[in-house]
């Protein structure tokens, strides 16, 4: 099976497992796990922020990051298909009392005009006050879109002096860096907090890191424990993250080439399904209309796992466990399925 459902499906490599087995550990609730501490410092450093907090998932990192800025009853603005709004099971509302309003952009990008219209930093006694804005980079459900650096700079300028905070969901921030050459720190500089995933393209089995100012991260550490996310000898997991940062960042560009290969092969069979130029990173969205469920079933029968992420939208994601040869084979299989079917 060639598994293109997500870049979370990767298995730790033997070298990564060796690094995990060799990890120096301690009790992280006491702050005594040297490998966790090293990972938190390393990621904070890479992103140019004061402090870091290792979390079990990206969802938890987002809940803690957004929760640092938005008080119960205040609102978070984000794009309509943002992971924080769509894929965290309502956690921001369920546990932190955050309300959400969304703008829509076909590519999932920052729409400064819409945000300017929506944001109400001090809405008084009648309307909900905006406390924070989240930007997803790259944008998952919009197809791995990279947020243009200039848009983020303009967003920072727009909120400066309003008290509104910016949180970046950087689950795939290293994919953005691989696609554009813009350093992750240059994206992170506009944000008050940033979450990153080690378990996506970087290939670690578990883990995310939230970075931000030291006081906000200290408060997030309290909330992590409150929500049951304190852990003890988590250094075995942090070691996988450190290994991934050392060995799996450079290779992300290969995933982007492979995604493009798949899109090219499919577009050659049916150009109405995908525009290869829209493939910026490791995610390919196919617009197959009412064929979606059937397409996914046929692909599975032919040895390729894919998933439906919206009405008529099938998502393919390349990753560490998909070789160039796998990508070519998957593209050919999917192209054949589309070619055989009536448009």
Ligand X SMILES: *Cc1c(COP(=O)(O)O)cnc(C)c1O
Of residues 269-308, which lie at the interface with ligand X (CB under 6 A)?
none
> Using CB under 6 A, which of 28, 40, 136, 298 touches ligand X?
136
Instruction: Give yes or no for a contact between 207 and 199, defined as CB atoms under 8 angstroms apart.
Output: yes
CA-based torsion, 243, 245, 250, 252: positive or negative: positive
Give least dist CB 81 to ligand X, A: 10
The region of 51-59, 106-114, 118-126, 284-292 touching ligand X under the rule CB under 6 A is 51-59
Give least dist CB 168 to ligand X, A: 10
The region of 29-37, 54-62, 92-100, 330-338 touching ligand X under the rule CB under 6 A is 54-62
> Using CB under 6 A, which of 57, 102, 189, 233 touches ligand X?
57
> Using CB under 6 A, which of 49, 81, 83, 260 touches ligand X?
83
> Using CB under 6 A, which of 3, 28, 169, 280 touches ligand X?
169
Give residues with Cβ within 8 angstroms of 161, minimum separation 6.
none
Q: CB nearest ligand X: which residue?
A: 58
What number of CA atoms fall less than 13 Å from residue 247's CA on the CB side?
Answer: 15
Of residues 59-78, which lie at the interface with ligand X (CB under 6 A)?
59, 62
Give residues with Cβ within 8 angstroms of 237, minimum separation 6.
20, 54, 204, 205, 206, 207
The reply to whether 318 sits near ligand X by the rule CB under 6 A is: no
Give least dist CB 313 to ligand X, A: 15
Give the H/E segment covering residue 335.
Answer: helix 324-340
The reply to whether 79 sits near ligand X by the rule CB under 6 A is: no
| Pattern 215-254, ligand X, x by CB under 6 A | ----------------------------------------
Number of residues this chain uses to bind ligand X (CB under 6 A) = 12
Give the H/E segment covering residue 136.
Answer: strand 130-136
Query: Coil, strand, or helix at residue 333?
Result: helix
Query: What is the layout of strands, in order, in the sheet containing 313-317?
Result: 283-287, 313-317, 307-310
The region of 40-48, 55-63, 102-110, 265-273 touching ligand X under the rule CB under 6 A is 55-63
Bond preceding residue 138 cis, omega within 30 of 0? yes
Give least dist CB 160 to ligand X, A: 25
Instruction: Give yes or no for a contact between 258 and 318, defined as CB atoms under 8 angstroms apart.
Output: yes
Two structure tokens written together for 162: 């309003």
Give least dist CB 315 to ligand X, A: 11
CA distances to 43, 84, 107, 168 from 189, in Å: 14, 21, 23, 10
The reply to whether 58 sits near ligand X by the rule CB under 6 A is: yes
The region of 57-65, 272-280, 309-317, 323-331 touching ligand X under the rule CB under 6 A is 57-65
Closer of 70 and 265 to ligand X (Cβ): 70
The region of 52-60, 68-76, 112-120, 278-286 touching ligand X under the rule CB under 6 A is 52-60
Two structure tokens written together for 53: 């907090």
The reply to whether 171 sits near ligand X by the rule CB under 6 A is: yes
Two structure tokens written together for 284: 């390919």
The region of 29-37, 58-66, 146-154, 253-261 touching ligand X under the rule CB under 6 A is 58-66
How far apart are alpha carbons 143 and 272 in whole angstroms? 16
Two structure tokens written together for 77: 């603005």
What secondary structure does DSSP assign to 304-319, as a single string?
EE-EEEETTEEEEE--
Closer of 144 and 331 to ligand X (Cβ): 144
Q: List interacting residues with ligand X (CB under 6 A).
A: 57-59, 62, 83, 136, 140, 169, 171, 197, 200, 208
């Amino acid at each position: 099976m060639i598994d293109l459902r997500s870049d979370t499906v990767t298995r730790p490599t033997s070298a990564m497992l060796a690094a995990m087995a060799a990890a120096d550990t301690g009790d992280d609730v006491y702050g005594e796990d040297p490998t966790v501490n090293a990972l938190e410092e390393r990621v904070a450093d890479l992103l140019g922020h004061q402090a870091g907090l290792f979390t079990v998932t990206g969802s938890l990192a987002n809940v803690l990051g957004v929760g640092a800025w938005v008080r119960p009853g205040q609102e978070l603005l984000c794009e309509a298909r943002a992971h924080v709004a769509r894929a965290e099971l309502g956690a921001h509302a369920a546990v932190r009392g955050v309300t959400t309003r969304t703008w829509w952009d076909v590519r999932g990008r920052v729409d400064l005009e819409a945000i300017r219209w929506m944001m109400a930093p001090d809405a008084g006694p009648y309307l909900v006050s905006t406390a924070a804005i989240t930007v997803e980079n790259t944008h998952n459900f919009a197809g791995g879109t990279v947020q243009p650096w200039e848009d983020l700079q303009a967003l920072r300028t727009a909120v400066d002096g309003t008290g509104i905070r910016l949180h970046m969901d950087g689950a795939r921030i290293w994919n953005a860096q691989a696609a554009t050459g813009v350093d992750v720190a240059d994206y992170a500089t506009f944000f008050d907090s940033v979450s990153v995933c080690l378990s996506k393209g970087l290939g670690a089995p578990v883990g995310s890191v939230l970075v931000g100012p030291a006081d906000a991260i200290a408060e997030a550490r309290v909330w992590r424990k409150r929500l049951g996310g304190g852990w003890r000898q988590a250094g075995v997991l942090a070691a996988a993250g450190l290994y991934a940062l050392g060995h799996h960042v450079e290779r992300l560009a290969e995933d982007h080439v492979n995604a493009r290969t798949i899109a090219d092969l499919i577009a050659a069979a049916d150009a109405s399904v995908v525009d290869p130029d829209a493939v910026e990173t490791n995610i390919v969205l196919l617009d197959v209309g009412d064929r979606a469920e059937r397409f996914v079933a046929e692909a599975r029968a032919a040895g390729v796992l894919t998933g439906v992420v919206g009405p008529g939208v099938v998502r393919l994601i390349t990753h560490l466990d998909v070789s160039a040869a796998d990508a070519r084979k998957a593209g050919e299989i999917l192209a054949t399925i589309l070619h055989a079917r009536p448009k």
